[in-house]
Amino acid sequence: MGQLDGKTALVTGGTSGIGLATAQRLAAEGAHVFLTGRRQDVLDEAIATIGDAATGVRSDVSRPEDLDAVAAAIRARGRGLDIVFANAGGGNFAALGDITVENFNDTFSINVGGTLFTVQKMLPLLNPGASIVLTGSTAAYNGTPAFTVYAASKAAIRSFGRTWAAELADRGIRVNTVVPGPVETPGLKGLAPAGSEQE
């Protein structure tokens, strides 16, 4: 018997890297895991590594209507939700003088808006004693050139974790932000400026 037998989990950005590894571990401990990702082919591959203990829902966390579809899929299973791992994220890196409105909006709509509305839309599904986990970043603490927008978005995640922990305590819902530091994932390789992967 696993520690999470009978539990239901959601992992956004669950098709690779930290998200996929977490989903696999949750399933190994007995949870049924809902995974989200933007590309159906990659989502299908991730589901195949887990098997019947996983359900894939193609979605983009920056699109509220996609999050509604995720919530509907979880609701249809009829067991509520015990774990939310709001892991989907990304960003563009640029020196202060090169940041564009598009860079800013893209990063904040995924990292900040995506996290906020993922958690908000899952709130009605959360069972007593549920756990919400947010993916933070050391960038929120370090002053790294070219990380202005990304770092600010992750500082917002840190604030979400503290604020929501206080707000949801009466429901017995725990909220934590994990800051794993640099992990060699496809996301890190694709996003980090040249030479900064090990910072």
Q: For residues 84 and 128, what is the distance between their CA atoms, to the nearest angstrom?
A: 13
Q: Which of 181, 177, 140 is nearest to 160 (CA)?
A: 177
Residue type, 143: G
Instruction: Describe the strand order of the beta sheet including 81-86 as a list of residue ranges.
Output: 54-58, 32-37, 8-11, 81-86, 126-135, 174-178
**Angle in degrees, 0-180, between the axes of helices 148-168 and 101-108, rounded to the nearest 10:** 30
Distance CA 132, CA 1 (A): 23
What would the DSSP string read from start to end of 142-195?
A: S--TT-HHHHHHHHHHHHHHHHHHHHHGGGT-EEEEE-------HHHHHHSPTT
Q: Are strands 32-37 and 174-178 parallel, antiparallel or unpaired?
A: unpaired
Residues annotated catalytic, as ranges: 150
